[in-house]
Amino acid sequence: MRLRGPVHRSRGFTLLETALAMIIVMVGVLAMVEAHGGFLRANAWSSHEATATYLANELRERMRALPRHDPVTGLKVVTGGSGQPIAQGVGPESGEVSVTDYDDIDDYNGAKFGNGGNFDGPIDAFGRVIPDVDFNGLVRNDPSTGQPMALQGWSQEVTVEKVDPYNFAQARGWEYAWAGPPAIPVDRFPLRVTISVRYQAPLSTVEEVVTQVSWIVPAN
């Protein structure tokens, strides 16, 4: 008589084990998708930051060698009709209507280049409008005019402020003078220049400040 030993039968996955395995796989896939999305967002922001820094530095380079105020008319104070002092010589002088006419720093106060601003732009250090390019690096042309399109969605905005010579964080009015001692005339104050570079996405209704660059122009 032949005795049989215990029979070992192969055991398959149960429905519960299969469900748990699927959940683990799905969690891993979702984690990978989220990580990939985060990488793309970070990469896009880095690209935006690089573009914004380039645009800010181009405009700063254009303004770097300019005098603080117009070399002919300068900055002076006159008495208004109400007896209040009024600064003259701030902003573009008569006849300065284009960026090529801007020959001093305070001309740029309030100027905005590109994306709904008061000038075409953004511009480079030579005052030329920076063209938009496609994914192949080719300049895009406006289909209605055939002319190159400006860099889409980007703008450069300039703010020029007169600041206290002993505290650059404190802005002063353009008509302000220091009685002293020592006396500081109205046109001998340092200036703080700020360039704000903004971007508006194609489907967005608002501009986003990507970067700001500020520097002090000394009086001497």
pLDDT along the chain (220 residues), means of 10: 57 72 82 68 71 95 94 88 85 92 95 94 95 86 87 95 94 90 91 96 90 92
pLDDT at 147 (0 to 100)? 86
> Is the model's pTM score more than 0.85?
no
The domain locations on the chain are: 36-217
pLDDT at 102 (0 to 100)? 95
pLDDT at 220 (0 to 100)? 73
> Cα–Cα distances in Å, from 2 out to 5, 7, 31?
10, 15, 58
Give the pair of three-digit tokens for residue 86.
């009024």
pLDDT at 23 (0 to 100)? 83
* Count of alpha carbons within 13 angstroms of residue 61, beta-carbon side: 12
pLDDT in tens, 143-172: 888 888 999 999 999 999 999 999 999 999
pLDDT at 41 (0 to 100)? 63
pLDDT at 90 (0 to 100)? 92
Q: What DSSP string describes 82-145?
A: TS-EEEES-SPPTT--SGGG--SGGGGTT-EESSSSSBS--B-TTSPBPBPB-TTSPBPB-TTT
pLDDT at 15 (0 to 100)? 76
Count CB-CB contacts under 10 A for residue 148: 14
**Contact predicate 80/175, CB 8 Å:** no
pLDDT at 162 (0 to 100)? 96
Look at residues 19, 87, 53 and name the one whose alpha carbon lies nearest to residue 212. 53
Identify the burial level of 75 via C-beta atoms within 10 angstroms of its C-beta, where 0-12 means exposed, 13-18 middle and 19 or more buried.
buried
**Contact predicate 88/69, CB 8 Å:** no
pLDDT at 118 (0 to 100)? 92
